[in-house]
Structure 1
Amino acid sequence: MTHTTEPDRGAYARDGRKTKGEHHMEIRGHKKGLHRRKFLGGMAGAGLTAVSAAGAAFSLLTDGTRSKAAAATDRILTVPELLEGTTADGTTTFTLAAQTGTAEVLSGVTSSTAGYNRSFLGPTLKWTKGETVLLNITNSLTEDTSVHFHGAHVPPRMDGGPQNAFSTGTVWSPTFTVKDGAKTLWYHPHALGTTAKQATHGLAGMIIVKDDSTTSAALPGDYGVDDIPLIFQCLAVDSAGDIKYDQKGYLSSGLSFPLLVNGENVDDTTLGFSATRTRNRFRALNASPSDIITLRRSDGGTLTQIATEQGYLTEATEVTSIRLVAGARAEFVMDVTADVTLEAVVTTGWIRGGSGTYEFLTVRAGGTDTPENLPSTLNTIERYDTSGFTARTITLSNAGATMKINGSAGLTMAGMAMIRTTLGAKEIWTITNASQLEHSFHLHDVPYQLISINGEAPTGVDLGWRDTYEVVGGGTIVIAMEFTDFADDTYMYMLHCHLLQHEDQGMMASLMVTES
């Protein structure tokens, strides 16, 4: 296999698209040659500006000559355990504990990590639209934490934002009725100032929401068999295994930026998955603190994307690549009649990070079934007529290493800018990036539609519902949303950059939805 390298195309380029109407999976031996060129310090140019503005001094450490031979043996894809809830009196209860542990992030090196119910990452939760869920979550860390249900439409007092932080040794027990349709969500910490630290060390897990739609019935849905989660993390780690999460740590010398898939380092190995069915569904989550992950096939073929963060697209869409900024998700299917290898291209999103191309998964054909054609229509998405919507401008900016929304640094609840709206309000927001830094804009509570992207009308998969989207340096996106179901005079939702370091450095504001 030939070695490939992806030059840093800039954290701000977008990939083109074209449209049209703990399980272990056995894998046959797959020996690999040269796998991936290793960059010691990939960096977007705008990141240099941020560093110099913050007063830090260092040289760009990029080594385009180093490479690694593949590991002597291959590994099979590990699928996170599906956590079974217990149902009684109409409520399904899930039990989680945020805890510390150790894991190998670099091969042969022990790192201090954290996870839910385990040492690193967490189990997958499965919710059903219309059911009532209760989560009993114990904080077994040595500091406060919270658990945010990223992308879920839940009451603000159950959202897991900074106001929901709870101390070590205590249990937080949010409960709500699942109002979301079929989609891929995830859960992670969201306490003030510690989100990057805790999530980067492994506190993250996937949530699958299912419903009884005809689309869901027509798609693969057997977890771990033909419905496969892919959790990507590009982390900063030193040679001793210490995971870095803040600016000081990222500017340390001798760092590696390994890519993990479901907690497995794929720097030197292509994981394997032996398909037992022809059509397979993959749920991709970029749980990296800051880096951008672009997925594609190594043979140049297309992927059939079926969903964005907030549910099904109107139709199955053929794409050459899927670009995921920090916090974003996508679902795609492949009819595997011959072995297919998937690649992840990592692009630096922050001051320094990963860079390069990984062949991370080979899907071995093994199904003997012949799937029916995908439904011609997956979903009905009525595009907003925004002529009567309330308009706002949200400005993302920085002063050195301090990140701001609408001129305020959200380092405390009192210091955040606050957006106030009312139940039933329909709004159109212009998100303006006044910096030259990469940002990933995430809105809690409700999904949004993209109205324009840097002055251009959205097309293809960008017409789907979103909750997390890229705002390039100097760029602008326009989004529209409707605030439904939930209002509160005390608890707030958040809007923020999902580059976790930017969030901790102040790029977060509060959203108060009250009764009209």
Structure 2
Amino acid sequence: MTHTSEPASGENRDAKGNHRKSMAEKREHGKDIAVRGKGMHRRKFLGGMAGAGIAAVVGAGTTFSLLSGAAKNKASAADSTLVIPDLLEGTTTDSTTTFTLEAKTGTAEVLSGVTSDTMGYNQSFLGPTMKWTNGDTVLLNITNSLGADTTVHFHGAHVPAKMDGGPQVAFSDGTTWSPTFTVKDPATTLWYHPHALGTTAKQAVHGLAGMIIVEDSTDATAALPSDYGVDDVPLIFQCLAVDSAGDIKYDLTGYLSSGLSYPLLLNGTNVDSTTLGFTATKTRTRFRALNASPSDIITIQRSDGGTLTQISTDQGYLTEATDVTTIRLVAGARAEFTMDLSADATLQAVVTTGWVRGGSGTYDVLAITASGTDTPDDLPSTLNTIDRYDTSDFTARTITLGQSGTTMLINGSAGTSMSSMAMISTTVGAKEVWTIKNSTQLEHSFHLHDVPYQLISINGETPTGVELGWYDTYEVVGGGSIEIAMEFTDFSDDTYMYMLHCHLLQHEDEGMMAALMVTDS
């Protein structure tokens, strides 16, 4: 059986949220890489051992042969309890709430019984959840204790370019970076992670990631579950590559090592052979899902094929709660959904390989015990008002995602340094429609800093259902394209730039990143 290493496959959804075939799936008919058998593990790839050969195309003219071992059965019942990330308490003085973070090194068990060198914020692996409120002023004192330069990017946040955490504001070991800004985002789920040049993948896969919850005063927010860790539950998914000694891999050389495993982690716990448990004490429970993987795609579904009620995309509430059977998250993306639990249920994660090498398959990740006795009110009929853009007068641009061997490009330039990046210049108040064209046959995840965007078309098809929400990260399949529209508001700068890039972190580090300068109109 032969698969490309970065499959040109993707799925869209119809108005009911169900998947429809994309152009890449039609082109690659018969090459579905997701193993969807209930209770099966992802495959463990063992270079140099007997098994089925797999061709992995990692760049133009470069092919590697990989070998796979057999999939194993996994536990069918909850073996341990879901770990809820700590909620970071801020200190409010003179109308400013201050949060303190330290990026530090540590150790953790990524593979059961094996110690890995890791990184985390305020702890050994991952970081605490921050809660921000729309309209509040926040100050973050972030100390670097990593022994190397880092940044902290507030992924999805609409903040000044100087405070965005891009590579221009990298800070050295032993120093503290203190960005401050007013929260302008609506109620949504964001996250934070490193964003220095060439080291993003290394630092993020070792554990530098955490969730941000933004709250506001809308009626929808008041009506939805919001008791953190009780009926408002974070789900941080990570698909990693680890050798038998516990060394976490992050680049092409590492991923082509022999003897690798590809564990799936949920809130920092390996769920390869463990289904985590969660007791829902309220009938209606809200889940915030984040795909913090460096490259793989996560699809969330119920093991019984039932529906999830999606309420939010990357950048805030949908217009109305929408029943879907699956929620597909490319690397860096988020979604929120609720479940009304009158009976026990199990959430599954379907993993689809997005980069050079790894396994795909289906995991029973969370066994939910329904113990609530309350009767929740009906969900609001309207969650949000989203005025769809009329792009007839918008400024049009084409952004081309390309490659030269293993070097990744945007508009023909490799963004491995600030000076080598392609530059896009615009002004505050500008309204633009971009065609993001994937000229490679590789999977990409397009992320835009600064402002949210609307999907105008997906591989030539009109978006429907949840695709009509606001995004900052979206899938661009091999040979495909998306059209997105946005308006640049509030912030201008003639020195500091935002980034636009592929959120497959290895592609970002390999050059698929460009700069966005927003100046005063």
SS in 2 for 1:120: coil
Given residue 149 of structure 2, which amino acid in structure 1 is its aligned partner?
D
Matched, 1:412 2:420: no
Given residue 434 of structure 1, which amino acid in structure 2 is its aligned partner?
S
Partner of 2:221: 216
Partner of 1:448: 453
Query: Which residue, out of 37, 40, 57, partners 2:41?
Result: 37
Assess if the C-alpha contact under 8 Å between 1:47 and 1:352 holds in 2: no
Unaligned segments of structure 1, at least 5 residues: 1-7, 21-33
Structure 1 stretch displaced more, 73-82 or 460-469 = 73-82
Matched, 1:49 2:49: no
Partner of 1:459: 464
Matched, 1:13 2:10: yes
Assess if the C-alpha contact under 8 Å between 1:40 and 1:61 holds in 2: no
Q: Write the distance in 1 (CA, Å) between the matches of 2:270 and 2:171.
A: 32
Partner of 1:116: 121
Query: Which residue, out of 270, 273, 278, partners 2:278?
Result: 273
Shift of 1:38: 3.8
Given residue 386 of structure 1, which amino acid in structure 2 is its aligned partner?
T
SS in 2 for 1:61: strand
Alignment identity in percent? 74
Query: Which residue, out of 128, 131, 137, partners 1:132?
Result: 137
CA-to-partner distance for each residue in 1:382-435, whole Å, 9 max, x for gaps? 000101100000000000110000000000000000000001000000000000
Matched, 1:245 2:250: yes
Shift of 1:42: 11
Q: Write the distance in 2 (CA, Å) between the matches of 1:354 and 1:511.
A: 35
Shift of 1:217: 0.3
CA change 1:231–1:212 in 2 (3 A) is same
Partner of 2:169: 164
Aligned-residue Cα RMSD (Å) equals 2.0
SS in 1 for 2:58: helix
CA change 1:42–1:324 in 2 (3 A) is farther
Q: Write the distance in 2 (CA, Å) between the matches of 1:323 and 1:9.
A: 17
Shift of 1:15: 5.4
CA change 1:396–1:72 in 2 (3 A) is closer
Partner of 1:438: 443
Partner of 2:68: 62
TM-score (norm 1): 0.93
SS in 2 for 1:490: coil
Q: Write the distance in 2 (CA, Å) between the matches of 1:52 and 1:386.
A: 36
Shift of 1:350: 0.4
Assess if the C-alpha contact under 8 Å between 1:17 and 1:320 holds in 2: no
Query: Which residue, out of 296, 304, 325, partners 1:320?
Result: 325
Given residue 210 of structure 1, which amino acid in structure 2 is its aligned partner?
E
Given residue 222 of structure 2, which amino acid in structure 1 is its aligned partner?
A
Partner of 2:376: 371
Given residue 477 of structure 1, which amino acid in structure 2 is its aligned partner?
I
CA-to-partner distance for each residue in 1:330-382, whole Å, 9 max, x for gaps? 00000001001000000000011231100000111011100111111100000
Shift of 1:164: 1.0
Partner of 1:286: 291
Partner of 1:82: 87
CA change 1:73–1:295 in 2 (3 A) is closer
Assess if the C-alpha contact under 8 Å between 1:394 and 1:406 holds in 2: yes
Matched, 1:192 2:200: no
CA-to-partner distance for each residue in 1:106-145, whole Å, 9 max, x for gaps? 0000000000000000000000000000000000001000
Q: What pairs up with 1:460-499 in 2 under 5 angstroms?
A: 460-499=465-504
CA change 1:369–1:36 in 2 (3 A) is same
Q: Which runs of 4+ in 1 moved over 6 A?
A: none
Q: When the two structures are aligned, how many residues end up with a matched partner?
A: 493
| Structure (1/2) with the larger strand percentage | 2
Assess if the C-alpha contact under 8 Å between 1:258 and 1:354 holds in 2: no
SS in 1 for 2:435: strand
Shift of 1:154: 0.1
SS in 2 for 1:191: coil
Assess if the C-alpha contact under 8 Å between 2:163 and 2:180 holds in 1: yes
Matched, 1:235 2:240: yes
Shift of 1:46: 12
Given residue 56 of structure 2, which amino acid in structure 1 is its aligned partner?
L
Given residue 50 of structure 1, which amino acid in structure 2 is its aligned partner?
V
Query: Which residue, out of 181, 188, 199, partners 1:176?
Result: 181
Structure 1 stretch displaced more, 176-185 or 353-362 = 353-362
Partner of 1:254: 259
Q: Write the distance in 1 (CA, Å) between the matches of 2:383 and 2:493.
A: 34
CA-to-partner distance for each residue in 1:153-183, whole Å, 9 max, x for gaps? 0000000000010000000000000000100
